[in-house]
Amino acid sequence: MGRAGIRAVLIAGPTASGKSALAMALAQRFNGTVVNVDSMQVYADLSVITARPTPAEEASVAHRLYGHVDGAINHSAMRHVADVSALLAELWQGGSLPVLVGGTGLYFKALTEGFSAIPPVPDAVRAAFRARVEGQETSDLHAELAACDPAMAARLKPADRMRIMRALEVYLATGRSLASFQGERSPGPLEGLPLLKLFVHPERDEVRRRIDARFAQMIARGALDEVAALREHRLDPLLPVMRAHGVPGLIAHLDGAMGLDEAIARGQADTRAYAKRQMTWFRHQMPDWQAVAPEAALEWALRALAPAG
């Protein structure tokens, strides 16, 4: 397909694979805008430890949907799709090629294939619920879910606190089982459009090396101070921002429960495990994406975007 037919470029890959640099290179060549599709890089509170683009990088080419969400907000795929939908209309109208990049497979899937039409839980409902259940055992929450929503309780493990709480919140907000929404589907804003979909796939040993080196660089660049500032907000530990890779270990270090070297090793190990899950996700969930090694990705994309004829 020639350049003129492609409405957007989608670049995914595991963390530390070099996909952001690729997105910037393509955006610079094709009058594009780099659009974030990473669930942690949306948060204003965490710049260094989520490897958000630097100010210099953002100055070199347009970047959107980075650092625009407060950490106290439970951002979701549905909210991200709404943000991207509005942005796509703006970019297309202005003649800019959207270059969507990130490592959150669920967000890409929602953008290209749609998602279950689960309404957002109002912040007031969520806050009241979480204040009520703070300190309760997860098994008790599972029993509460079984009483009001046995269909979802049967699907979830009694120890899966995060998903149990999500199911309870949806029930409290809507009076309906989360399971009842999962059969309803809303289309994604990129569904059915001509897209260039690229998965940057490094060798496993190389991505592990990059992850360990980058985490050490994050510490040198002030990640610990960034996490210390986040810790002062005393946010719900179940919020996504509090579970960003490296954050739990560094908070444990700041609390005196773990040495810095141990916290760094934990952050590196958690990130390596996440990268492995990312590669598994795309292999099984998105088989129509083109997997390309990092060193060959730019040349492959340039050929794919070349005008036909």
Q: What is the DSSP string of 63-92?
A: EESSS-B-TTS---HHHHHHHHHHHHHHHH
Sheet holding 63-64, edge to edge: 63-64, 32-36, 97-102, 8-12, 195-200, 290-292
Please give the chain's pLDDT, 309 residues, in tens.
345 589 999 999 999 999 999 999 999 999 999 999 999 999 999 999 999 999 999 999 999 999 999 999 989 888 999 999 999 999 999 999 999 999 999 999 999 998 777 777 888 888 899 889 988 999 999 999 999 999 999 999 999 998 999 999 999 999 999 888 877 778 899 999 999 999 999 999 999 999 999 999 999 999 999 999 999 999 989 899 999 999 999 999 999 999 999 999 999 999 999 999 999 988 888 889 999 999 999 999 999 998 865
Instruction: Considering the chain, tell me which residue range(s) the CATH 3.40.50.300 domain(s) occupy.
Output: 3-116+186-305
The dihedral of CA 188, 241, 12, 291: what is its sign?
negative
* Vertex 76 angle, CA 122 and 176, to 5°: 50
Cα 266 off chain centre by: 20
* Predicted TM-score of the model (pTM): 0.81
CATH number corresponding to 123-183: 1.10.20.140
What backbone torsions phi and psi does residue 286 show, to the nearest 5 degrees? -135, 65
On whether the CB atoms of residues 105 and 282 are closer than 8 A, the answer is yes
Instruction: Considering the chain, tell me which residue range(s) the CATH 1.10.20.140 domain(s) occupy.
Output: 123-183
Instruction: Name the E strands within 4-86.
Output: 8-12, 32-36, 63-64
Q: Report the alpha-carbon distance of residue 102 to residue 83 in Å, rounded.
A: 15
Q: Which of 15, 10, 14, 55 is nearest to 34 (CA)?
A: 10
* Domain 3-116+186-305 listed as CATH 3.40.50.300: yes
Cα 229 off chain centre by: 22
Instruction: Tell me whether strands 32-36 and 63-64 are parallel, antiparallel or unpaired.
Output: parallel
On whether the CB atoms of residues 305 and 298 are closer than 8 A, the answer is no
